[in-house]
DNA sequence: GTCTATAACGAGATAGAC
DNA sequence: GTCTATCTCGTTATAGAC
């Protein structure tokens, strides 16, 4: 009895996985806008109506793919952070950022699915939010540790942002200063911008820089070090993250950050 | 003779413009991947084959739309910079960034066309590069002025990036230090990340912050002030841009920036 | 109950003959 | 330019196999 139950469940899981795999293949070939239930079924040797036992609609399949992608990205970020768990926050920060980049480079179409332009006629349901927050939460965790160690500079928020920033922090990381949480959200968006730029080949529009893959990795590392400076992450030495690196450097917080020297 | 010539030319221009307008409308409704010459023709009361006298292919139409979008974005950036031409570099920086954001919010589908995920099966020809560089060049100009005024901190490049950074700077802005040019390219990508995040509603996945439009404008301003700090733009006072703002703050360049205090 | 297959719908794209 | 015959699509109803 329960054995046939289990067999059924396992079979169902396998078919579901096969459907998603094939859908991902089509995603790469045609793009999310052209994902077609019929084509997936055809390629799998099934008939289109049979798919409806597994996904109630095309949009539901898309939603499942998006959730999977978010989870996979989150896992990659978590694994990267775990691999360097003992090291200094700044080192962990860059490791996680590079994991995000690496994940995107390895699966550009899934990255486009979650961080690219929205699919016309489709809006992701609220339920994908937790999975979507997984990767950024890893970065928040890194910064939280830095905050506990006192290795965090927290420049104040401008007046117009105090209320909103407070609300944001209350919902996302109540134990961190609102200004840090705001900076983190900005840094996450900026990180996605860096990765997205590389994936869509936009660096190609700026001189010879582009093609040379050897330049892009150090460029990215340099840039995310700047991002770390943007959230106030200090280097191990206690000096700001950007000190001998990119740009976030060059700014010393007015009063609260005056402590190194 | 020449009058009929002119009339012909004018008519051709008008039809071309009408085609592009209709195509833009479809872009908004269906997305770039589904742009269809036939549908454009139908909506215009023409027959599809007639369109081929104006655009040799769907891809050519797409290319024209992309070029137009880049030009329009570039114009918006230039206008914003001209409107505050006399003011301090940091003020101009934020004005241009906000113009980019405003343009994207006003025409999200065209923004997706130029900065969103690539359209499957289509690659933009090399010829769109100059138009694409137009908006970022405005930011480069702002930073160039700051550099001339000595209001620029230039943190050094890490070893692995010196060669590539030098090549990049040579092609893009030979009169600026390579480290600044590298930081500028990173800042442009990050700016696109911020705008893209807002356009695709991803802020919605971080607590209540999202919907409240009143929060997003100051958030953006705050974030781009941090970006300015990232490229080493100083405030008018001579202190770093991020001083009482975002996060780029909190970092004082090791040696070359030690001048304020 | 769980699944697959057949057939059909309305809408749209596409190809080719005229 | 027009018309038509032939695709594809998402989705549903229905019938039958396990």
Residues A154 and A172 reside in one and the same domain: yes
Q: Tell me the C-alpha to C-alpha distance, in Å, between residue A119 and each of A60, A62, A131, B111.
A: 13, 10, 19, 14
pLDDT in tens, B208-241: 555 556 689 999 999 999 999 999 997 765 556 6
Q: Quick one: pLDDT band at residue B30, thresholds 50, 70, 90?
A: confident
- Residue B124: its pLDDT value, please? 87
Structure tokens given for A217: 């990795």
Q: For residue A78, which phi and psi values (nearest 5 degrees)? A: -65, -40
Structure tokens given for B120: 């499957």
Which one is predicted more confidently, B119 or B187? B187
- Residue B123: its pLDDT value, please? 87
* Domain finish residue from B56, B79, B100: B56
pLDDT in tens, A196-224: 999 998 887 775 555 556 689 999 999 99
Of A100, A38, A32, the C-alpha closest to A63 is A32
CATH number reported for the structural domain that contains residue B160 in this entry: 1.10.357.10
- Residue A132: its pLDDT value, please? 94
Residue B230 has its nearest CB partner, among A246, A254, A257, at: A246
Which one is predicted more confidently, A38 or B251? A38
Interior/surface letters A127-165, b for 16+ CB within 10 angstroms, e for the rest: ebeebbbbbbbbbbbbbbebbeeebbbbbbbbeebeebb
Residues B121 and B199 reside in one and the same domain: yes
Q: Quick one: pLDDT band at residue B155, thresholds 50, 70, 90?
A: confident
Point out which residues pair with B186 in neighbouring strands: none
Cα A249-A227-B131 angle, rounded to 5 deg: 95
Structure tokens given for B91: 């003020």
Residues B80 and B163 reside in one and the same domain: yes
Identify all chain A residues contacting B157, using CB atoms and an 8 Å cutoff. 222
- Residue B214: its pLDDT value, please? 67
Identify all chain B residues contacting A241, using CB atoms and an 8 Å cutoff. 251
User: Does residue A240 come out as left (phi exceeding 0), alpha (psi in the -120 to 50 range) or beta?
Assistant: beta
Residues A6 and A84 reside in one and the same domain: no
Q: How many domains does chain B have?
A: 2
Q: Determine the distance in angstroms separating the CA of B225 from the nearest CA of chain A, rounded to an integer.
A: 10
Q: How many CB atoms lie within 10 A of CB A175?
A: 9
Check pLDDT > 90 for residue A141: yes
Alpha helices, H only, B84-151: 89-106, 108-115, 129-148
Residues A51 and A80 reside in one and the same domain: no
Residues A210 and A159 reside in one and the same domain: yes
pLDDT in tens, B122-144: 888 888 989 999 999 999 999 99
SS3 of residue A111 by DSSP: helix
Residues B176 and B76 reside in one and the same domain: yes
**In the predicted model, what is the mean pLDDT of residues A86-105?**
97
Judge whether B129 lies within some domain: yes
Judge whether B173 lies within some domain: yes
B49 touches strand D (CB under 7 A): yes
Residues B201 and B76 reside in one and the same domain: yes
Dihedral Cα B89, B194, A240, B242, nearest 10 deg: 30
pLDDT in tens, B31-86: 898 888 889 998 898 888 899 889 988 889 999 999 999 999 999 999 999 999 99
Residues B99 and B211 reside in one and the same domain: yes
pLDDT in tens, B234-261: 776 555 665 543 333 333 333 343 333 3
How many Å from the CA of A116 to C1' of C15? 34
Q: In whole angstroms, what is the distance from residue B158 CA to residue B182 CA?
A: 11
Q: Quick one: pLDDT band at residue A28, thresholds 50, 70, 90?
A: very high
Residues B43 and B82 reside in one and the same domain: no
Quote the percentage of chain A above a pLDDT of 90.
75
Q: Tell me the C-alpha to C-alpha distance, in Å, between residue B120 and each of A108, B31, B56.
A: 12, 12, 19
Query: Is B194 in contact with B150 (CB distance < 8 Å)?
Result: no
Identify all chain B residues contacting A129, using CB atoms and an 8 Å cutoff. 204-205
Query: Is B131 in contact with B71 (CB distance < 8 Å)?
Result: yes
**In the predicted model, what is the mean pLDDT of residues B158-173?**
91
**In the predicted model, what is the mean pLDDT of residues B90-116?**
97
Q: State the residue range of the domain holding A23.
A: 1-56
Q: In whole angstroms, what is the distance from residue B166 CA to residue A244 CA?
A: 17
**In the predicted model, what is the mean pLDDT of residues B18-29?**
92
CB contact under 8 A, B187 and A116: no
Identify the closest residue of chain A to B254 by CA–CA distance: A243
Residues A52 and A169 reside in one and the same domain: no
Which of A113-127, A149-163, B195-209 comes out lowest in average pLDDT? B195-209
- Mean of all residue pLDDT scores within chain A: 88
- Residue B252: its pLDDT value, please? 38
Judge whether B73 lies within some domain: yes
- Write down the residue that tokens 């003020």 correspond to: B91
Q: In whole angstroms, what is the distance from residue B204 CA to residue B207 CA?
A: 7
Query: Is B37 in contact with B51 (CB distance < 8 Å)?
Result: yes
CATH number reported for the structural domain that contains residue B52 in this entry: 1.10.10
Cα A174-A179-A185 angle, rounded to 5 deg: 80
- Residue A237: its pLDDT value, please? 54
CB contact under 8 A, A254 and B246: no
Check pLDDT > 80 for residue A32: yes
Query: Is A222 in contact with B186 (CB distance < 8 Å)?
Result: yes
Residues A38 and A128 reside in one and the same domain: no
- Residue B10: its pLDDT value, please? 78
CB contact under 8 A, B117 and A200: yes
Residue B246 has its nearest CB partner, among A120, A155, A205, at: A155
Q: In whole angstroms, what is the distance from residue A134 CA to residue A73 CA?
A: 8
- Residue B201: its pLDDT value, please? 86
Q: In whole angstroms, what is the distance from residue A77 CA to residue A213 CA?
A: 22
A19 touches strand D (CB under 7 A): no
A48 touches strand C (CB under 7 A): yes
pLDDT in tens, A232-253: 997 765 556 655 433 333 343 3
Burial of A37 (0-12, 13-18, 19+ CB in 10 A): middle
**In the predicted model, what is the mean pLDDT of residues B146-173?**
91
- Mean of all residue pLDDT scores within chain B: 86
pLDDT in tens, A118-135: 998 899 998 999 999 999
- Residue A24: its pLDDT value, please? 98
How many Å from the CA of B62 to C1' of D2? 27
- Residue B236: its pLDDT value, please? 62
- Residue B126: its pLDDT value, please? 87
- Residue B2: its pLDDT value, please? 67
Q: Of A90, A189, A234, A238, which to mutate for an interface test with B (greatest number of B Cβ within 10 Å)?
A: A189
Identify all chain A residues contacting B156, using CB atoms and an 8 Å cutoff. 244
Judge whether B111 lies within some domain: yes
């Amino acid at each position: 009895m329960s054995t046939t139950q289990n067999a059924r469940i396992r079979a169902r899981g396998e078919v579901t996985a096969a459907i998603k795999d094939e859908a991902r293949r089509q995603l790469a070939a045609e793009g999310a806008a052209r994902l077609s239930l019929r084509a997936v079924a055809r390629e799998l040797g099934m008939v289109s109506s049979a798919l409806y036992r597994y996904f109630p609609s095309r949009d539901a399949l898309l939603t499942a793919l998006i959730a999977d992608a978010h989870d996979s990205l989150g896992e990659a970020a978590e694994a990267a952070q775990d691999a360097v768990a003992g090291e200094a926050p700044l080192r962990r920060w860059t490791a996680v950022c590079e994991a995000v980049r690496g994940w995107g480079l390895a699966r550009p179409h899934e990255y486009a699915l979650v961080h690219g332009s929205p699919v016309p006629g489709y809006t992701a349901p609220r339920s994908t939010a937790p999975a979507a927050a997984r990767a950024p939460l890893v970065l928040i965790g890194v910064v939280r540790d830095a905050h506990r160690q006192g290795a965090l500079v927290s420049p104040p928020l401008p007046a117009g942002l105090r209320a909103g920033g407070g609300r944001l922090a209350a919902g996302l990381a109540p134990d961190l200063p609102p200004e840090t949480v705001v900076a983190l959200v900005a840094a996450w968006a900026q990180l996605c911008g860096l990765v997205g730029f590389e994936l869509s080949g936009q660096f190609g529009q700026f001189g010879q820089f582009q093609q040379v893959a050897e330049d892009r990795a150090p460029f990215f590392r340099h840039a995310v070090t700047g991002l770390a400076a943007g959230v106030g992450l200090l280097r191990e030495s206690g000096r700001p993250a950007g000190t001998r690196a990119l740009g976030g450097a060059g700014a010393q917080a007015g009063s609260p950050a005056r402590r190194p020297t």
